[in-house]
DNA sequence: ATCACTTACGGGTGACGTAAAAATC
DNA sequence: GATTTTTACGTCACCCGTAAGTGAT
């Protein structure tokens, strides 16, 4: 059989057209490459090159061999990637979210239950999240839709209420105790994260006259928020997790509207029930 | 990149299930195979096996890797065959015949014109011969049909008349000078080669009452013919080439019927016109 | 005790690099 | 003279086999 390094040498020569150039590019000496080409011809029992005294080029057979070799090398690289990806998929729990809130607490729970597993988090819209669960991209998803399908297990996880975050000087802080409604602050300009999932659809619909300044990066968002007097958003969950209410420069007021509350569910494929048994029992045992 | 011998080792282990058995089958020592498996894991950066102290089995990742490796090795073998076949096709002129006669003289002409080329001969029915020319299996074909297509070059090669071969004692030898007709010997039993192409169709149709004893091998045919008094066939071409008329134990009498004469043509793809230039000029220069 | 695998060790193949020669531009 | 390829030669990597060790059957 032909060892891989010979195929690599052939492909390199085909790409760089001279032995010297090819040798340099694959970091071997030029005579070594010359010998490899001879060895390849020897193994195949076939002439692959037209040789003159100081010129060597692939003949028709050689060109064919080179393109076949390239295919094989590509496939070998693909194999490496597939094996590594498969292995890593065995050692990571991949979670898809349609809202960001739970993303801040679920990984630490999972990590406690499965200390040897890596955790990958991803946020996309509802549709992509569900599709990702079905095609095994995600091991579990957090969705605001309670999908009830025969092949799924759906467990109510919790709910999140949207808050407005204001500077203490803002006139709307008078609502502090009773909460306020979207229409009370419709027209306000908000700073918000670009990645808030379905929340974005909700606030845009309920406050059509507002402007929303999106920030891609969470750190820069919080920096901008702290240095400006613009309104922003939070939820009961994020306020608790980040102890945001200890920050004296911001007042948090809940929205009273029913659309300001999102219930969400942890959904997994039934086929993964055993694999995620600890997690399921943790959820049900709360 | 992964050297081929490691893939072979993995595939062997997957097939034979224990290191010892696999090692024996690929003719290396068992520790060598053990090391190869470790090396493969090292290169991939991934665990491929479940190991207990004296047992080693492929895990899920390992099984996947093994099947991918198998695919790659198959492709490599395929590459070797394709390259060798392509190379040999460059060094052989492949000829397809629908009748056997020219098969006895064309190769020697070709050999004189192209002394470095190998020659392969093949006989099949008209349809397969033409198909073989179109799909490049044959470089040239000899056909009794004068295919006139835009992509083909067809050159009349010659014609062949069928003779009957009789022992001198046979009553029909009285026809010797004027020739005879198929119907004159319909009912006769003939010894004939199993590979006579379209001739077989002709004699079966024109002498429906005859029996034809087919011989696969030409040598055994001529042996049987010489030791029996049964009739047999020849053509002007074969009589000349094999000096059959110098054999006193056989009389050759031509068939007069028009179906007893077959004209045949040398046909090549136009795209091969240059490659076979010498041959074409030889044909036209006769 | 036997089997299966791993680790340790010494040996040989062969792939490598350096050097030199030959040929072309 | 610079570039490109091949041949020659010595070196070193690495793959191999043998031997020894460990644990399971």
Tens digit of pLDDT per residue, chain B (286 long)?
Answer: 999 999 999 999 999 999 999 999 999 999 999 999 999 999 999 999 999 988 999 999 999 999 999 999 999 999 999 999 999 999 999 999 999 999 999 999 999 999 999 999 999 999 999 999 999 999 999 999 999 999 999 999 999 999 999 999 999 999 998 999 999 999 999 999 999 989 999 999 999 999 999 999 989 988 888 899 999 999 999 999 999 889 889 999 999 999 999 999 999 999 999 999 999 999 999 8
Domain B4-76 adopts which CATH fold?
Arc Repressor Mutant, subunit A (1.10.10)
**Rounded Cα distance, B239 and B231, in Å:** 15
Please tell me if residue B46 touches chain A, with a CB cutoff of 8 Å: yes
**Rounded Cα distance, B138 and A117, in Å:** 61
Evaluate whether A98 touches A126 at the Cβ level (below 8 Å). yes
Nearest residue to D15 via alpha carbon and C1': B32
Q: Give contacts of A84 with chain B, Cβ < 8 Å.
A: 44-46
Q: Å from A84 to nearest chain B CA? A: 7
B93-B96-B102 Cα angle (round to 5): 95
Query: How far apart are the two ends of chain B, measured CA to CA in Å?
Result: 60
- State the average pLDDT for chain A: 95
Q: What are phi and psi of B157, to 5 degrees?
A: -100, -45
- What pLDDT was estimated at residue B286? 81
Please tell me if residue B50 touches chain A, with a CB cutoff of 8 Å: no
Protein-covered nucleotides on strand C (Cβ within 7 A): 3-8, 15-20, 22-24
Interface contact B80-A47, CB threshold 8 A:
no
pLDDT average, residue stretch A69-87: 97
Q: How many Å apart are A231 CA and C16 C1'?
A: 68
Mode of pairing for the β-strands spanning A55-58 and B251-254: unpaired
Please tell me if residue B28 touches chain A, with a CB cutoff of 8 Å: no
Please tell me if residue B118 touches chain A, with a CB cutoff of 8 Å: no
Tokens linked to B126: 């008209």
pLDDT average, residue stretch A262-278: 95
Q: How many Å apart are A18 CA and C24 C1'?
A: 14
Interface contact B80-A4, CB threshold 8 A:
no
Q: How does pLDDT run across A146-199, given as a tens digit for each residue?
A: 999 999 999 999 999 999 999 999 999 999 989 999 999 999 999 999 999 999
Nearest residue to D25 via alpha carbon and C1': B54
Helices (H), B91-172: 106-113, 126-134
Q: How many Å apart are A18 CA and D1 C1'?
A: 20
Please tell me if residue B71 touches chain A, with a CB cutoff of 8 Å: yes
Q: State the residue for tokens 């004699």.
A: B203
Which of residues 43-62 of B have CB within 7 Å of strand D? 52-55
Nearest to B1 among A1, A2, A76 (CB): A76
Q: How many Å apart are A279 CA and C19 C1'?
A: 67
pLDDT average, residue stretch A189-215: 95
Q: Give the side-chain half-sphere CA count within 13 A for A21.
A: 11
Q: Å from B48 to nearest chain A CA? A: 9
Size of interface A-B (CB pairs under 8 A): 86
**Within its chain, how far is the Cα of B285 from the centroid?**
29
Evaluate whether A255 touches A235 at the Cβ level (below 8 Å). no
The pTM for the full model equals 0.78
**Rounded Cα distance, A59 and A48, in Å:** 6
B172-B173-B179 Cα angle (round to 5): 85
Q: Show me where the domains of chain B are located.
A: 4-76, 88-157+263-284, 159-261
Interface contact B5-A8, CB threshold 8 A:
no
- What pLDDT was estimated at residue A179? 94
CATH superfamily of B159-261: Periplasmic binding protein-like II (3.40.190.10)
Q: How does pLDDT run across A223-254, given as a tens digit for each residue?
A: 999 999 999 999 999 999 999 889 899 999 99
Protein-covered nucleotides on strand D (Cβ within 7 A): 3-8, 15-20, 22-24
Same fold for the pair A4-76 and A159-261: no
Evaluate whether A119 touches A95 at the Cβ level (below 8 Å). yes
- What pLDDT was estimated at residue A54? 87
Q: Which nucleotide is nearest to B30 (CA to C1')?
A: C5
DSSP state of B144: S
Q: Å from A47 to nearest chain B CA? A: 8
Q: Answer yes or no: is B5 CB < 7 A from strand D.
A: yes
Q: How does DSSP assign B268-285, residue by residue?
A: EEGGGTTTTHHHHHHHHT
**Rounded Cα distance, B105 and B267, in Å:** 16
Interface contact A71-B71, CB threshold 8 A:
no
Interface contact B79-A86, CB threshold 8 A:
no
Taking 90 as the threshold, does the pLDDT of residue A53 lie above it? no
Q: Which nucleotide is nearest to A3 (CA to C1')?
A: C15
Q: Answer yes or no: is A15 CB < 7 A from strand D.
A: no
Q: Give contacts of A66 with chain B, Cβ < 8 Å.
A: none
Q: How many Å apart are A59 CA and C25 C1'?
A: 22
Name the class of domain B88-157+263-284. Answer: alpha beta
């Amino acid at each position: 059989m032909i060892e891989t390094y010979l195929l690599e040498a052939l492909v390199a020569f085909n790409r760089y057209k001279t032995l010297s150039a090819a040798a340099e590019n694959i970091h071997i000496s030029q005579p070594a490459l010359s010998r490899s080409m001879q060895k390849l011809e020897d193994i195949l029992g076939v002439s692959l090159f037209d040789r003159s005294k100081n010129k060597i080029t692939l003949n028709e057979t050689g060109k064919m061999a080179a393109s076949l070799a390239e295919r094989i090398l590509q496939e070998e690289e693909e194999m490496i990637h597939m094996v590594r990806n498969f292995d890593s998929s065995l050692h990571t729990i991949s979670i898809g979210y349609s809202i960001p809130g739970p993303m801040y607490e679920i990984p630490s729970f999972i990590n406690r239950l499965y200390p040897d597993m890596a955790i990958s988090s991803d946020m996309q819209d509802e549709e992509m999240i569900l599709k990702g669960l079905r095609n095994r991209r995600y091991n579990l998803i957090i969705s605001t839709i309670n999908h009830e399908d025969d092949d799924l297990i759906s467990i109510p996880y919790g709910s999140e209420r949207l808050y407005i975050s204001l500077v203490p000087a803002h006139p709307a802080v008078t609502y502090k105790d009773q909460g306020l409604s979207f229409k009370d602050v419709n027209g306000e300009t908000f700073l918000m994260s670009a990645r808030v999932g379905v929340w974005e659809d909700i606030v845009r619909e309920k406050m059509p006259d507002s402007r929303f300044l999106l920030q891609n990066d969470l750190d820069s968002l919080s920096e901008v928020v702290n240095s400006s007097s613009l309104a922003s958003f939070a939820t009961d969950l994020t306020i608790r997790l980040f102890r945001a209410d200890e920050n004296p420069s911001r007042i948090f007021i809940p929205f009273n509207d029913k659309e300001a509350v999102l219930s969400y569910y942890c959904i997994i494929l039934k086929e993964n029930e055993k694999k995620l048994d600890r997690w399921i029992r943790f959820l049900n045992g709360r």
